[in-house]
Amino acid sequence: MQLPRLLSPLDIGPVRIANRIVSSGHDTVMAEDGMPGERLIAYHEARAAGGTGLIVVQVAGVHPSAKYTTHVLMADDDACIPRFARLAETVHRHGTRIFQQLFHDGRELMESEDGTLPVALAPSAVPNERFHVMPRAMSVAEIHEMVRCYGDAARRMREAGFDGVEVVASHGYLPAQFLSPRTNLRTDEYGGDLDGRSRFLREVIDAVRAAAGPGLAVGVRISVGEESPDGLTRDDSLQALELVGPTVDYVSVVQGTSATLAGSDHIVPPMTFAPGYTAAASRAAKQVVDCPVIVAGRINQPQDAELILGRGDADATVMTRALICDPEMPRKAEAGRLEEIRACIGCNQACIGHFHAGYPISCIQHPETGRELAYGIRRRAASPRDVLVVGGGPGGLKAAAVAAERGHRVVLVERERRLGGQVRLAQEVPGRAEFGGAITNLAGEAERAGVTLMLGTTADAALVDELDPDVVVVATGALPRVPELETADDPVVLTAWDVLSGRDVPSGHVVVADWRADWNGLGAALALSLRGHRVTLCVTGYHAGQRLQQYVRDAMIAEAVRRKVAILPLVRVIGADADSAYFQHVLTDEPVILDDVAALVLAQGHSSVDALLRELQDDGRREVHGIGDCLAPRTVEEAVLEGLRAATTI
């Protein structure tokens, strides 16, 4: 066996899991009226069918005040039991164990039902930095009520047939707020020294244990270091674990907190974090508890998980995003088909990025995730057809792979000698090399499906006629948009693509004009700074990286600050001359002039390459589908999703 530890069973209290691959609690934005619905059940069933050993379902609020978002699951009323029971029954059919997270956010409120600010509860009136929430200190009576609510929620999960429950004391949520001497300023029995500050968590665990009964596993999730000025230090957390460890069946270790921007980046760490970087924290936890320790922290490959387990740093590994990207990862690992695993690249765009935007989560590489009811089963085509895909970027590769998997005869034509499209540039952004894995994964899928590749070939109407396909999928992408500018004295004007592809840039001060506020402008600025240039990044939006997922943006902006990149928001580029760049403030229309400029780099979005699509549509002799940027310039996510949709309809 290639992965002897990862694929071996593990006993967690009274529960045995078949392997040590864990899907941890993560909000899917798939709750219906606060309860599991068909979409959420289908989502978890896909991961159970793929061989996941343990699924821990996203947080369920134990009290009405725990609705930190409008789409959170709630376990505060007996009416939820039948819906949770349906979820448990479905997961159990595949031999997977299922636990439920029990949750209260405390001061960590993100939104409300109607836009008004609800009252946030906390141990003390200490404000939240990230969401700018000032909570109200709980009374002792409210604390007692909350403890009872945790127990009642555990009883509901027992009646619903769950195998275990997990008390969420991580990421600065309510139990962690009680634990921290910086957020718990109480002078009664729930504050003061560690014994007092840990009283709430200990009482919650006791209530949960009593209500869950002997057949359910009871665990606690805790941040071993919240990486925040007012949060738990690693020593704080380890001391708390020494107290509660003997009362639980397992400990789930993470890092970070919801309370600050930098601390929250650890909740779903982007690709700038090393795989398994939290292993030292779980290793420290294992020194103070005798129960199994589960660790989370960007563990996206079975080989990485096996190393962590083999070193004894943890007893099981959370691989949530790996399972979002490839629900069949455990089965593939068990069969030794490691090269077929679709590896998560830590882009955060469609998983946590969707959650932060209030949409059901998915994956840019695997848009079937979150859409299992529509695309969960790959159905063979009734009549195989000849399909031509034009363009070897991510959208074209997805369309080709899915069409071939459905039984069609597929040829993919790509103008360049290499596949990848814009992903080949995205992977050149400092700290973003892993993004190139999307093309490795999609190209592997196309190859295994039997797609015929024609590289270094320009597709035009004559080639289409020569190949004579039944269906053409056009995925010809886009090129950098270069707007009309007022120029004089022959300024050096380049594009972000020029920078990322390695083109020479004159030495000195370089100004990047960033219209879209995504990875293009910020990435070009970082690349230029690493090449020794003084860089000013001028953004049309409120801030650099405005359109990026927060944790990705935080990492890139932090690096820009470290690299001394100057950032100028709310300006649009209007012109340039030999040594100046001219901008206009987007709110006041006042001129903004930057002097001593050696080059102006444009990150002004893209223009569709759609001539072939229009020509084939006008011709009308064949079925034609346009996907991705040739329809309208957007992102990898839309291109891959549209490739899936097009190939499914053929």
Helix axis angle, 437-449 to 394-405, nearest 10°:
30
Are 492 and 588 spatial neighbours (Cβ–Cβ below 8 Å)?
no
Distances (CA, A) of 250 to 291, 330, 430, 512: 5, 22, 38, 50
Enter the tokens of residue 325.
Answer: 């990207």
**CA pair distance 139, 556, nearest whole angstrom:** 42
Host H or E run for residue 423:
helix 423-426
Angle in degrees, CA 257, 262, 264, rounded to 5: 35
**CA pair distance 412, 392, nearest whole angstrom:** 7
**CA pair distance 204, 219, nearest whole angstrom:** 11
For the whole model, what pTM was predicted? 0.97
Q: How far apart are the first and last CA of the chain?
A: 40
Q: What size, in residues, is the chain?
A: 650
* Residue keyed to tokens 């921290």: 180
Host H or E run for residue 389:
strand 386-390
**CA pair distance 148, 93, nearest whole angstrom:** 32
Q: Is position 375 annotated as part of the catalytic site?
A: no
Task: Give the side-chain half-sphere CA count within 13 A for 275.
Answer: 19
* Region for 508 from its dihedrals, namely left if φ exceeds 0, alpha if ψ lies in -120 to 50, beta otherwise: left
Instruction: Choose among 584, 578, 583: nearest CA to 596.
Output: 578
**CA pair distance 348, 353, nearest whole angstrom:** 6
Q: In this predicted structure, what is the pLDDT of residue 111? A: 86
**CA pair distance 48, 55, nearest whole angstrom:** 8
Residue 248 CB neighbour total at 10 angstroms: 23
**CA pair distance 280, 242, nearest whole angstrom:** 17
Beta bridge partners of 167: 102, 220
Q: Which residues contact 296 (CB under 8 A, 6 or more apart)?
A: 24, 252, 253, 254, 278, 317, 318, 320
Record: fold of 10-373? TIM Barrel (3.20.20)
Q: In this predicted structure, what is the pLDDT of residue 416? A: 96
Enter the tokens of residue 179.
Answer: 């634990």
Alpha helices in 33-136 (DSSP H): 38-49, 81-92
Phi, psi for 555 (deg, rounded to 5): -65, -40
Enter the tokens of residue 629.
Answer: 């940027």
**CA pair distance 436, 442, nearest whole angstrom:** 10
Which class is domain 379-479+608-649? alpha beta
Q: Tell me which residues of the chain have a pLDDT lower than 70.
A: 1
Q: Please identify which of the residues 43, 68, 150, 173 carries the catalytic annotation.
A: 173
Instruction: Choose among 543, 567, 511, 522: nearest CA to 430.
Output: 522
* Residue keyed to tokens 């009136």: 125
Are 171 and 223 spatial neighbours (Cβ–Cβ below 8 Å)?
yes
Q: In this predicted structure, what is the pLDDT of residue 114? A: 85
Enter the tokens of residue 534.
Answer: 């003084």
CATH 3.20.20.70 maps onto the chain at 10-373
CA 629 to chain centre: 23
CATH 3.50.50.60 maps onto the chain at 486-604
**CA pair distance 566, 475, nearest whole angstrom:** 37
Are 123 and 195 spatial neighbours (Cβ–Cβ below 8 Å)?
no
CATH 3.40.50.720 maps onto the chain at 379-479+608-649
Distances (CA, A) of 358 to 110, 221, 641: 11, 24, 18
* Best CATH choice for the domain 486-604 from the list 3.10.180.10, 2.60.40.10, 3.30.1360.40, 3.50.50.60: 3.50.50.60
Host H or E run for residue 101:
strand 97-103
Q: In this predicted structure, what is the pLDDT of residue 1? A: 64
Alpha helices in 58-216 (DSSP H): 81-92, 140-159, 174-179, 194-197, 199-212
Are 299 and 317 spatial neighbours (Cβ–Cβ below 8 Å)?
yes
The one-letter amino acid code at 560 reads A
